[in-house]
Amino acid sequence: MLIILWAALRSLRLVLAVVITLAIGLIVTAGLDCLSSSHESISLAFAILFIGLSADFAVQFSLRYRAQQYLSSDLHEALLEAAERVGVPLTLAAAAAAVGFLSFVPTAYTGLAQLGKIAGCGMIVAYFFTFTLLPALVRVAHPPGELKPVGQPRLGAGGSFPRTAPGPGHISYRDPPRLGNSSASSSAIRL
């Protein structure tokens, strides 16, 4: 996981901020689990789910912060802009994940119901710490500014996929396929 975080964030200070955020979120979620009355072995799977999904939240926030840091050298402004830009998408993602896990609660199998409660609460904890603890840790760590735009240059301009794939037989999504009396040569799909 650390290699993936490094590949995405390219800053040891950001990686440490994310790891600390994940660890504290996991501890808080485990504490909430301890408050429940019974423990099933399947409910231990929440740790893997929590780390996987909460790491996604933290990486999304951190990547947007890096992109904003390139545009503005002011750390505070970059953090605020990052929170503003990823706020709605991460809220939707966290809510969807929490509701999905909480849908396990009505099941008759106690372990799965408990996993749903723990993982659902864990998504709320991860979301909360992504927007509170992570920015505070980034501010304290004060990673160096970005020297070049953040993105995936090997995917093309602006980090997007190329409009057409090269080669004699290719699929193009530039022009939609024509229906009706179109010939195969004018179709967007050439075999």
In the chain the domains, ranked by start, together with CATH numbers, are: 2-141 (1.20.1640.10)
> Which of the 8 DSSP states describes residue 49?
H
In angstroms, the CA 49 to CA 130 distance is 16
Please give the model's pTM, rounded to 2 decimal places.
Answer: 0.73
Residues recorded for the chain: 191
In the numeric block, which tokens belong to residue 23?
Answer: 């660890």
- Residue pLDDT tens, the chain, 191 long: 788 888 888 889 999 999 999 999 999 988 887 776 566 667 677 888 888 889 999 999 998 998 888 888 788 999 999 999 999 999 999 999 999 999 999 999 888 888 888 899 999 999 999 999 999 999 999 887 766 666 655 544 455 544 444 545 544 444 444 555 545 444 444 44
Contacts of 172-180 spanning 24+ positions with Cβ under 8 A: none
